[in-house]
């Protein structure tokens, strides 16, 4: 893990704690996650502020949100191979906890908190910016910052097409770790796409994005 991060801990116990989920025995990573989340948000906020000179507060907030969210953090954690290093209790192991976005994202934030405690803010900032270098170099445009539901609605309105309907197909999982499966449908066009996520809102956004992509492809072929 240290090799993937390109960082050597002076106190390896901090890394061990950052990689320990609350379902496992020993000191878990929840406190480190809290700290790392705060450091990460500040570092990314400061960087998008620097990179987008003149951008308004709303645009800056949306830019930060695209970089610092559960899905983005989990993707970065997978790129680092983080899942294989997380210590989980037997229940989480059996249920595939190493692949779960929330567990991966929390562990990565905990690592940031551990690096902050181990070497200070400057070194932690350096690590975060190195990991986010590609994403920061390819920040989305103002139009791309609009969420998928908004973009789908504007697309349909521009073509004078009916607006979509969102329906929850099912909800699975335990109360604290549910998965919502949602369909975004335009019955008049016989078009529909599904999304699944840890909240209804996120599932709706996924479904909207999938449907927008389908409609744009079909229009391009037409």
Instruction: Supply the DSSP symbol for 89.
Output: -
Look up 109 and say whether it is catalytic. yes
Among residues 158, 202, 24, the alpha carbon closest in space to that of 98 is found at 24
Number of H helices, E strands in the chain: 11, 3
Rounded CA-CA distance 52/48 in Å is 6
Options 101, 109, 118, 204, the catalytic residue: 109
In the set 37, 47, 101, 118, the catalytic residue is 37
Q: Is 25 annotated as a binding residue?
A: no
In angstroms, rounded to a whole number, what is the distance separating the alpha carbons of residues 61 and 56?
A: 9
Q: How far apart are the first and last CA of the chain?
A: 49
Phi, psi of 169 (to 5 degrees): -85, -45
DSSP 32-61: HHHHHHHHHHHHHHHHHHHHSTT--HHHHH
Is residue 118 part of the annotated active site? The answer reads no
Q: What contacts 37, CB < 8 A, 6 or more positions away? A: 109, 112, 113
Is 33 a known ligand-binding residue? yes
Identify whether the C-beta of residue 182 lies closer than 8 Å to the C-beta of residue 200: yes
What is the enclosing helix (H) or strand (E) of 169?
strand 165-172
User: Is residue 106 a known part of a binding site?
Assistant: yes
Q: Which residues are catalytic?
A: 37, 109
**Binding-site sequence positions for Mg(2+):** 33, 106, 109
């Amino acid at each position: 893990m240290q090799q993937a991060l390109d960082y050597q801990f002076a106190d390896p116990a901090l890394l061990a704690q950052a990689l320990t989920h609350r379902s496992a025995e020993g000191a878990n990573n929840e406190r480190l996650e809290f700290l790392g989340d705060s450091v990460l948000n500040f570092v990314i906020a400061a960087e998008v502020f620097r990179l987008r000179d003149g951008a308004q507060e709303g645009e800056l907030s949306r830019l930060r949100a695209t970089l610092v969210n559960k899905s983005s953090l989990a993707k970065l954690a997978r790129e680092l191979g983080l899942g294989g290093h997380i210590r989980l209790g037997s229940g989480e192991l059996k249920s595939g906890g190493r692949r779960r976005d929330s567990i991966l994202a929390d562990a990565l934030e905990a690592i940031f908190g551990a690096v902050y405690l181990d070497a200070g803010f400057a070194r932690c900032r350096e690590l975060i910016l190195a990991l986010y270098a590609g994403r920061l170099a390819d920040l989305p445009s103002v139009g791309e910052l609009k969420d998928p539901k908004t973009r789908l609605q504007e697309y349909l309105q521009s073509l004078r097409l009916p607006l979509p309907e969102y329906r929850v197909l099912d909800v699975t999982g335990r109360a604290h770790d549910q998965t919502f499966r949602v369909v975004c449908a335009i019955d008049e066009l016989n078009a529909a796409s599904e999304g699944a996520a840890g909240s209804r809102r996120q599932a709706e956004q996924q479904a909207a994005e999938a449907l927008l992509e389908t409609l744009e492809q079909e229009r391009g072929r037409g």
